[in-house]
Amino acid sequence: MTATAKSNIPSSSSLSGVHRGHASLSDRVARSLFIWPAVVILLFFSIFPLIVSLWLSFSRIKFVRGGVEIIHVGWANYRKILLGSEQPRLLGVIGQPSLAGWILFALIVAALIYMMVHYVRNERVTPIGFGLRLALNIFLAALAWLAVSTISPNGRPGALIVTFLYVFVGIALQYLIGLGLALLTAQQLPGRRFFRVVFLLPMMITPVGVAFMFRMLTDTVVGPFSPVWKAIGLGGTSWVNNPWGARAAVIIGDVWQWTPFMFIILLAAIEAQQVEPIEAAIVDGANRWQIFRYITLPAILPVSSALVLIRMIEGFKIIDLPNVLTNGGPGTATESLTLSAFVFWRTLDIGGSAAIAYILLIIVTIISVAFVNLVRRRFSEVA
């Protein structure tokens, strides 16, 4: 597929093949007309809000008669979130990690150290590359420590860790289910068009609607599965009153909604594979697993990494599902960072809201830039 597509793409040298040379005034005006509307809109809605947001995050805003009064408060908003009164809500309550937590943390640190060693040994080491990787690994290790120490018997995870849980557990499940369904649907089964259309549907449904649906479905009294809950002795208890039950409900809703996105693009990628290598493999007597492992998987890795990146970027923005499905509760157990920022804004703490938004922005940027540079580039080279 890529081969046929690429032959049509003009090489970068012929980028301006059309409309080069005699650039008359009308041509130059036309060129500007093509690109300026988009540039202006994006400037207004990215550069400007980013600068204002940064500045708001260092201020306190009071709504007074006939306008707003803005007081510069320095780092107070960030201090409140990271160290002060709102720390339990955003970062969580730090407890003594359980044995499993320690093991998990040790494994993560070991993996990070292994990556560093691998990099120093096998790649050209530059001071900047080394420094950035070291900083990233320390950041990831700190996050891992925060995760295991707040998800512990006497700790309580805050919005930051809960958001990471939504993103990573959600994406892992979506990818695995989506890949499995795509592989099954790619077979020459009668009626596969039906499955393709049906599996696409959840993606179209508004997340608010999904949230209500799953509230109905997880209701242990009037929901459709209440006989099941009664049978196993859980009738009358509510998922939504248990912190982990509520978080699971949010993740299930998210997986239900976004598995189609993974499914449909992975299916298209699998169907766009070249047939010849698979034929050759069959002639050589390869079994299904070998064909998947050595032919299909490498062929879909670039698409997969793009999918994970897209879902990661979108996943960090999650607000509708926790807000409607569980109202952020019980307490603030299911709050995501975006939802926290909204709650702060609703209570007119606009500075605090902007500070949370900025923390989220920094985290998303670090994670996506690291992902693009460390994971995606490698997969694209392989293909």
Partner 1 sequence: MQMIRFFRSSSPFRPSPFQMALSYLILGFWTFVVLFPIYWLVVTSFKLPSQVTQGPRYIPFVDFQPSLHAWQYIFVDVRNDTFRPYANTVIVGLVSSALALIIGASSAYALVRFRYRPKLGLVGIFIALVALCVVAIAINIPWQLAVPIAVALFIIAIPTLGPRMKRSLSNSDIAFWMISQRILPPVAVIIPVYVLYQQIGNTTGFKLLDTRLGLIIVYIAANLPIVVWLLRDYFQSIPIELEECAQIDGASPLRIFWSIVLPLSVPGLVATFLFILVFAWNEYLFALFLSSSQAQTMPLTVAAQNATRGPQWWYMSVLILIMIAPVILMAIVLERYIAKGLLVGAVKG
How many residues does this entry show for the chain?
A: 383
Q: Contact with partner 1 (CB under 8 A): which of 52, 106, 135, 297? A: 52
Q: How many CB atoms lie within 10 A of CB 216?
A: 10
Q: Contact with partner 1 (CB under 8 A): which of 67, 127, 153, 233? A: 67
Q: How far apart are CA 140 and CA 370, in angstroms?
A: 11
Stretch that binds partner 1, among 79-87, 120-128, 153-161, 204-212 (CB under 8 A): 204-212
Q: Report the Cα 152 to chain-centroid distance in Å.
A: 24
Helical packing angle, 350-371 and 337-346, nearest 10°: 160
Q: Contact with partner 1 (CB under 8 A): which of 64, 68, 99, 232? A: 68
Q: Contact with partner 1 (CB under 8 A): which of 96, 120, 176, 206? A: 206
Binders of partner 1 in range 139-158 (CB under 8 A): none
CB of 148 to partner 1, least distance (A): 25
Does residue number 238 form part of the binding site for partner 1 (CB under 8 A)? no
Q: Contact with partner 1 (CB under 8 A): which of 76, 309, 374, 375? A: 309
Binders of partner 1 in range 330-349 (CB under 8 A): 337-338, 341-342, 345
Q: Contact with partner 1 (CB under 8 A): which of 3, 17, 64, 127? A: 17
Binders of partner 1 in range 285-304 (CB under 8 A): 288, 291, 302-303
Q: Contact with partner 1 (CB under 8 A): which of 111, 169, 234, 278? A: 278
Structure tokens at 176: 């695995």
Q: How far apart are CA 86 and CA 68, in angstroms?
A: 24
Size of the site for partner 1 (CB under 8 A): 121
Q: How far apart are CA 92 and CA 335, in angstroms?
A: 11
Please report which helix (H) or strand (E) contains residue 35, including its range: helix 25-42
Does residue number 236 form part of the binding site for partner 1 (CB under 8 A)? no
Residues 6+ apart with CB under 8 A from 297: none
Structure tokens at 170: 């959600």
Instruction: Report whether 124 contacts 84 (CB < 8 A).
Output: no
Stretch that binds partner 1, among 107-115, 118-126, 153-161, 312-320 (CB under 8 A): 312-320
Residue given tokens 């999918």 in the structure block: 307
Q: How far apart are CA 307 and CA 45, in angstroms?
A: 25
Q: How far apart are CA 88 and CA 149, in angstroms?
A: 13
Nearer to partner 1 (CB atom), residue 118 or residue 288: 288
Does residue number 358 form part of the binding site for partner 1 (CB under 8 A)? yes
Q: How far apart are CA 154 and CA 96, in angstroms?
A: 7
Does residue number 74 form part of the binding site for partner 1 (CB under 8 A)? no
CB of 128 to partner 1, least distance (A): 18
Q: Contact with partner 1 (CB under 8 A): which of 100, 107, 110, 198? A: 198
Does residue number 353 form part of the binding site for partner 1 (CB under 8 A)? yes
Does residue number 265 form part of the binding site for partner 1 (CB under 8 A)? yes
Binders of partner 1 in range 157-196 (CB under 8 A): 177, 180-181, 184-189, 195-196
Instruction: Report whether 325 contacts 306 (CB < 8 A).
Output: no
Does residue number 307 form part of the binding site for partner 1 (CB under 8 A)? yes
Residue given tokens 């879909």 in the structure block: 300
